[in-house]
């Protein structure tokens, strides 16, 4: 039995810290605690500034605070990179060694191999 | 990096007008806990399910919902409890959550009191230790927070978590600015025979 990670774990980290929503709002400079409540309930996405502030306050990386979102973005980026790789591959000719397309292709292939969940299809 | 499989469990300790709950993700990660109640006029079961339980199911999207099997309840309360159980199970099915009703065989075998079980839970998850009420006197009524500990014990039973030998209250910190060691992870079980 396996479930996917939740979009964010802001509420969990706040409850472990023992701080209230008002306290966190003060720390990350949010005007209204209802805004924080919305983010905790996955209604709307926080700004980059707020995400970075949360990282600083809770002492956890953004990829852990927003684990589900981070995973879905990573998955999407990987798929896009694979698509671009196939597109570039179609345009490579044997005489194009050292060309711009070859450089792009090599860079993307290298990046895909570096990725942790990469699967050769 | 291999992705770990996670089982998110929502455990409930149901009472006619309130329930204690705990959400665990895997055996080590405590996500949420608390007591939710409805004490206004109207139908308490509907309000408990629609206003209190539904948001929890939508927020945490558990895979399993664990409920305690009905204890010996007086006939007057039996009907109410059955109705509440049915409503909870129906709501869980609407949200595509498996429901497991656990019996208390293990507790009876160990002969633990409710308070002793709560202490074990607090040992396992030190963050709950600050909510552990004082042991009640025979003439006092039960603290509402005990529902939370009963739910945690259920979740632990579901995930086969054993009790451990760590202190219930975390040790004092070296500096007030240092994060506690057991900030997110429960304490590991200490083996006595090395």
How buried is residue A117: exposed, middle or buried, by Cβ count under 10 Å (0-12/13-18/19+)?
exposed
Statement: residue B168 has pLDDT above 80? no
How far is A88 from A105, CA to CA, in rounded Å?
6
How far is B129 from B148, CA to CA, in rounded Å?
11
Alpha-carbon distance B81 to nearest alpha carbon in chain A (angstroms): 30
Could you tell me the pLDDT band of residue A51, with boundaries at 50, 70 and 90? very high
The answer, for B159 touching chain A at a CB cutoff of 8 Å, is: no
Chain A interface, best mutation among B25, B97, B100, B148, by max A CB count within 10 A? B25
- In this prediction the ipTM stands at 0.80
pLDDT at B8: 92
Alpha-carbon distance A9 to nearest alpha carbon in chain B (angstroms): 8
How buried is residue A34: exposed, middle or buried, by Cβ count under 10 Å (0-12/13-18/19+)?
exposed
Nearest to B59 by CA among A54, A17, A33, A7: A7
How far is B36 from B148, CA to CA, in rounded Å?
10
Could you tell me the pLDDT band of residue A37, with boundaries at 50, 70 and 90? very high
Partners of B3 on chain A (C-beta within 8 Å) are 117
pLDDT at A1: 52
B182: DSSP letter: T
What's the CATH number for B8-158? Answer: 3.30.420.10
Express as a percent the part of chain B with pLDDT over 90. Answer: 40
Could you tell me the pLDDT band of residue A40, with boundaries at 50, 70 and 90? very high
What residues does each domain of chain B span?
8-158
Lowest pLDDT segment from A84-88, B94-98, B165-169: B165-169
pLDDT in tens, B88-128: 999 999 999 999 988 765 555 567 888 998 999 999 999 99
Partners of B170 on chain A (C-beta within 8 Å) are none
Statement: residue A67 has pLDDT above 70? yes
Statement: residue A121 has pLDDT above 60? no
Contact flag A12-B127 (C-beta cutoff 8 Å): no
Q: Which of B3, B59, B127 sits opposite A16 (nearest CB)?
A: B127
Best-predicted range by mean pLDDT among A52-56, B34-38, B70-74? A52-56
The answer, for B86 touching chain A at a CB cutoff of 8 Å, is: no
Contacts within 8 Å (CB) and 24+ apart, B77-81: B77/B16, B80/B16, B80/B45, B81/B14, B81/B16
pLDDT at B48: 85
How far is B15 from B13, CA to CA, in rounded Å?
7
Return the structure tokens found at A42.
């996955």
Contact flag A3-B63 (C-beta cutoff 8 Å): yes
Mean pLDDT, residues A11-25? 95
Q: Report pTM.
A: 0.78
Q: Which of B6, B31, B62 sits opposite A12 (nearest CB)?
A: B31
How buried is residue A106: exposed, middle or buried, by Cβ count under 10 Å (0-12/13-18/19+)?
exposed
């Amino acid at each position: 039995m396996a479930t996917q990670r939740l979009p964010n774990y802001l509420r969990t980290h706040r409850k472990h810290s023992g701080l209230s929503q008002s306290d966190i709002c003060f720390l990350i400079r949010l005007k209204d605690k209802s805004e924080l409540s919305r983010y905790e309930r996955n209604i709307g996405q926080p700004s980059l500034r707020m995400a970075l502030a949360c990282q600083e306050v809770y002492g956890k990386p953004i990829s852990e605070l927003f684990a589900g979102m981070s995973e879905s973005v990573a998955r999407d980026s990987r798929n896009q990179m694979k698509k671009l790789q196939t597109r570039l591959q179609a345009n490579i000719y044997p005489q194009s060694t050292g060309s711009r397309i070859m450089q792009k292709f090599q860079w993307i292939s290298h990046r895909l191999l570096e990725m942790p969940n990469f699967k050769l299809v | 990096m291999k992705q770990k499989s996670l089982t998110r469990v929502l455990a409930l300790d149901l009472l006619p007008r309130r329930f204690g709950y705990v959400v665990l993700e895997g055996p080590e990660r405590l996500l949420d806990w608390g007591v939710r109640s409805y004490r206004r006029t109207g139908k308490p079961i509907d309000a408990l399910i629609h206003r209190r339980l539904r948001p929890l199911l939508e927020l945490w999207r558990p895979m399993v919902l664990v409920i305690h099997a009905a204890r010996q309840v007086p006939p007057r309360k039996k009907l109410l409890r059955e109705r509440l159980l049915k409503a909870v199970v129906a709501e869980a099915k609407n949200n595509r959550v498996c429901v497991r009703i656990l019996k208390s065989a293990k507790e009876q075998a160990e002969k633990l009191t409710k308070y002793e079980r709560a202490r074990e839970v607090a040992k396992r998850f030190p963050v709950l230790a600050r909510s552990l009420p004082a042991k009640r006197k025979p003439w006092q009524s039960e603290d509402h927070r005990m529902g939370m500990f009963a739910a945690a014990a259920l979740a632990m039973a579901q995930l086969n978590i054993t009790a451990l030998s760590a202190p219930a209250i975390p040790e004092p910190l070296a500096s007030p600015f240092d994060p506690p060691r057991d900030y997110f992870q429960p304490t590991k079980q200490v083996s006595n025979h090395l």
